[in-house]
Structure 1
Amino acid sequence: MSWFFVTHNAHLYQQTVVKITKNTVVKSVETTDATHNKDLVTTQELTGIVKNGAHQGDKILLKNEYSLSGAHDEKYRVGDELFVSISKKSKTPLEGSIDGVKRDQYLLIVGWIFLLSALFVGKKSGVFSIISLILNIVILSIVLDYYIRSENGNLLIISMGMVVLFTVISLFLVSGNNRKTYAAIISTLIGTFISFFIAYGVMNLLGDRGLRYEEMQFLTRAPRKVF
């Protein structure tokens, strides 16, 4: 039932979803960057069918470049479902640009593997671990929604509160109400906050110098806030 849902839920997305029906390789070119790293860049022309929105059922043409290394791009195949922005000037067949991959099918597979593994290995504890995970996800969604909507929300204070809340909920559900659980909660929180204040102090002491933030372009917020 869950597999049927994720393969037939395009109508629930606001973004245009396209299923690739044809893949044609146009050319492959060897490239060398400033540091003499060699790569092979391939251009592919994709034909797909729009799965939702006003153009549902229409054919669309897309272009994509991907490298052999796959560091900043991706190769697409027949059967892949992509999020696409349709060009307003395009006629029949439509044209557009690729925004990303519709990954809920892959997430579903990984999710089921995780759930079944937790139940098989943990048995009763696995059940309570899954319940605590679901509760934490619900709480996180509510809190993040509040933070996004609020103008003066302090992300640091909110994160600290969630650390305490998640720790208490998870350990009580998995270990029960006993001295062992209280000891685990106290030691977890002490360890977490000591690590935080050490790292935060070092960042302030060094003025962020000496820290290497790799792939900075993928961050949407300053590294200190992400930390």
Structure 2
Amino acid sequence: MNKLETLRLSSYMVDAVYFIGANVNQLSYRKQAASPGVEELPNLHMELLHHSKLENVFLPDRDQLIVYTEEDLMRRFRTDSELLSSADIAGLQRFMKEIQGRVVMTNGNANGVFIVIVLEDGFFGRAIPEQDVAGSFFSVANGERILWSTAPGPFPAYVPELSEGETITEGTTYRHAVKELSPFRLSVIHTVREYGPYRFDTELLLKMAGISLLTLLFHC
């Protein structure tokens, strides 16, 4: 407990960290970067995640950045277990609400403590080089899911391929350049409208974005 209270988190990169114990005999806490001290979470531990089936959402994505939507969480969430009290269900629902739509990383319950790191909302923006070319934008993806994008409107939904080449959205052609970020399952995508002027070096921008993002990831 004392060690958690003295833990210093960079609000530049991290919003909060959850330390979730194995069962009712092991305490769970949330440490927020912008607040002193820690908050005890009596109705959140791994046994409850197991009884509610939520552990099946998190464990496959250990050590990777991911965004869980409300649909992702609710599709697995079950409340019919006799081992879940109304207070337990409320605690789990609060946890889901706090992390949904946020970029998170988990440790896969290593060493008996399940750690969930919630990144600050502007995390990716700090790694992407500024550029003001009309019709040009960056996206960051995990697999086929867009985690973050500077694209206007609903564009991220139209990049399922995440590969070099072109896509056509509502009559407009977009060209995509992609850089994979190893060892993370992440891709940085630079997209330009076909008719937009090429007043920049796409390869150089992708390298800059990739190096900056990896630097942030290894220090968060």
Q: Same fold (TM over 0.5)?
A: no
Choose 1 or 2 for highest CA Rg.
1
Higher relative contact order (CA 8 A, sep 6+): 2
TM-score, length basis structure 2: 0.26
TM-score, length basis structure 1: 0.25
